[in-house]
Amino acid sequence: MRKGNIEHPSNGYKIIVVDDEIGIIDSLSIFLKRSGYEFTGVTDPLKAIELVKSEHFDLMILDFIMTPIHGDQVVEEIRKFNKELYILLLTGHKDLAPPLDTIRRLDIQGYCEKSDKFDQLLLLIESGIKAISQMNLIKKINNELKDTYEKLERSYMESIQTIRYTVEAKDAYTRGHSDRVSEYSVLIGKHMGLQENDLNTLRIGGLFHDVGKIGVPDSILLKPGKLTDDEYSEIKNHPTIGAHILSTATIFSDLIPIVKHHHERYDGNGYPSRLKGEEIPFLARITAVADTFDAMTSKRTYRDSLPLDIVKAEIEKCKGTQFDPEIADAFLDILNNHYDEIVAIQNRYIS
């Protein structure tokens, strides 16, 4: 009977072995293929680095003493572009292993001495594969959760956008106002050196800051003349209504302080909570400046837009009373020295 090559079913895991002794490569090839692993053997450590760049491997078995570079140098290069590869180091003798701090720094998961028997190495490989399997499972779950979260977030965003557009459809002033407030707020945030996550909150918070106007009667919202005290009290409910709308979804929790408190005043005479100074959420203080600026520079049914010099004088006058002085100064600097950025925003929303 003629003996042929025995096919061993693959377990789906790919192992690359790097050793400049071809005998070790051949022995591990038989041993690992018999255990169901997909095997790649390389005697040139530089070629191994290129292979890891271009192909996926789950685990690397790596000799320490090689030419032209040692195993720790191989790992050093690999860790520049691959942080996840599970690496086991082989040493001719334990005294030749790299220092423990090097093993930790390069995230080498284990090492063992070379031997004619592969029992210890097999245990390390099996342990490594279990760790890789768990890591892959966690990654898969995280990706599924992220995908679910993103779909949920899109759904809520679409729902709130619908409410926002409903408000804009019945209030000509609001149309474009929220977009400009969003962009002005982000512009202030950038000039104040805020991080990207805060800028994103300012962007979305600005878009939705007036969403509570959906709960204000049309007779008040669309009234062309001066509001009565009772009517003005109704208008003042829109921040609380908006916060309540957004509170139904936890993904909007960062936006609620902006929506609820963009009409607070630095001196404590604003609404709805009469917060004062730094009690007012910082991003809400930024949105308040942007909101007021757009209100002053927008044409209304009862007045034309105000000239820039009057707007700047009003912001200067209201520092420390209506506005946070630091934020007001930052916006005045934009108006005085970067006004082209303001004009660019306004031009995007010319109807």
Q: What is the pLDDT of residue 230?
A: 82
Q: What residues are annotated to the active site? A: 213
Angle CA 7–11–15, to nearest 5: 95
Q: How far apart are CA 62 and CA 65, in angstroms?
A: 9
What pLDDT is recorded for position 3?
45
pLDDT band per the 50, 70, 90 thresholds, residue 146: confident
Q: What are phi and psi of 246, to 5 degrees?
A: -75, -20
Q: Is the pLDDT of residue 169 over 80?
A: no
Q: Coil, helix or strand for 65?
A: coil
Q: Where are the domains of the chain?
A: 14-140, 171-348
Domain covering 171-348 in this structure, CATH number: 1.10.3210.10
Q: Is the pLDDT of residue 184 over 50?
A: yes
Paired with 59 in beta bridges are 15, 86
Is the pLDDT at 6 greater than 80, yes or no?
no
H and E: helices and strands count for the chain: 15, 5
**pLDDT given for residue 8 in this prediction:** 65
Which helix (H) or strand (E) covers residue 49, if one does?
A: helix 45-54
- pLDDT, tens digit, for every residue of 191-245? 999 999 999 999 999 998 998 888 888 888 777 778 888 888 888 989 998 898 8
Q: What is the pLDDT of residue 1?
A: 38
Evaluate if residue 5 carries a pLDDT over 60: no
| 91 burial level (CB within 10 Å; 0-12, 13-18, 19+) | middle
CATH for 14-140, options being 3.90.550.10, 2.60.40.10, 3.40.50.2300, 1.10.10.10: 3.40.50.2300
| Mean pLDDT computed over 20-41 | 91
What's the predicted TM-score (pTM) here? 0.60
